[in-house]
Homo-oligomer: A and B are copies of this chain.
Amino acid sequence: MVTSRWTAAPAQTASPRRRGAVLERAILDAALEQLGTVGWKGLTMEGVAAGAQTGKAAVYRRWASKEDLVADALVSGLPRMEEAPDLGSVREDLLALCRQVRRIMYSLPGVALRSVIHECDHMQAERFEEVIIGNVVEPTIRLLREVIVRGIERGEVRSDAANGYVFDAVPAMMMYRSKMCASEWNDRDLEEMVDRLMLPLLRPYGA
């Protein structure tokens, strides 16, 4: 049986009792639903409680503020980064990795996350930017490092390419062009970035 800090709360309504993780999931789903329909500014703890068919107290017992609830809802809804691709060439690995990043950026929670950052104030925006860094950027950099180090071991990539400026190039370009050029990074765009930017950057000296 699942035990948690709130399973001991006394029953207050006659509705079907959901506890622990089940109720939590229903609340997080209701928060994502509200973000998609009324946005950050329109979202209220009451509205989320109603959407999850529970009481406001059940929401506040778990999340002290709207920021806390929305941050958890976004994190829980974002697709996870998978393992580092290992397809035999740095080109194929980079393409597969870029497609993973794109899948997260354009997932419903990914789009909601960017729109929350636009809607909320500066202090709150910093909090949600940290969600992007911790859940998208840092995992991307970790997998890029794996892919590039494997390329170095294969002799496909110059030996000094495993550094922060090289790792940042992919997330920097994806963020920049989606923001400044409204690029949606179709397959052709990703291939062009890999072929015109990453492969010339990574090629061994003398190649």
Contact = CB atoms under 8 A, between A and B. Distances in A.
Contact of A175 (B121, B176, B205): B176
Nearest to A179: B129
B197 A165 contact: yes
A129 B163 contact: no
Nearest to A206: B206
Where chain A touches its partner, the secondary structure class is helix
Quick one: copies of this chain in the complex?
A: 2
Contacts of A192: 165
A207 interface: yes
A173 to B, nearest CB: 5
Interface residues on A, range: 20 to 34
A15 B200 CA distance: 65
A197 B166 contact: yes
A19 to B, nearest CB: 39
A131 interface: no
A207 to B, nearest CB: 7
B163 A172 contact: no
Q: List the 7 shortest-distance A-B pairs measured between CB atoms, nearest first.
A: A172-B176, A165-B196, A165-B197, A172-B172, A201-B201, A118-B122, A172-B173
Given A118-B121, A175-B175, 8 more contacts: A118-B125, A165-B192, A166-B197, A169-B172, A172-B176, A172-B177, A176-B176, A206-B206
18 contacts: A119-B121, A129-B179, A129-B180, A133-B180, A158-B200, A165-B192, A165-B193, A165-B197, A166-B197, A169-B169, A169-B172, A171-B176, A171-B180, A172-B173, A176-B176, A205-B207, A206-B206, A206-B207
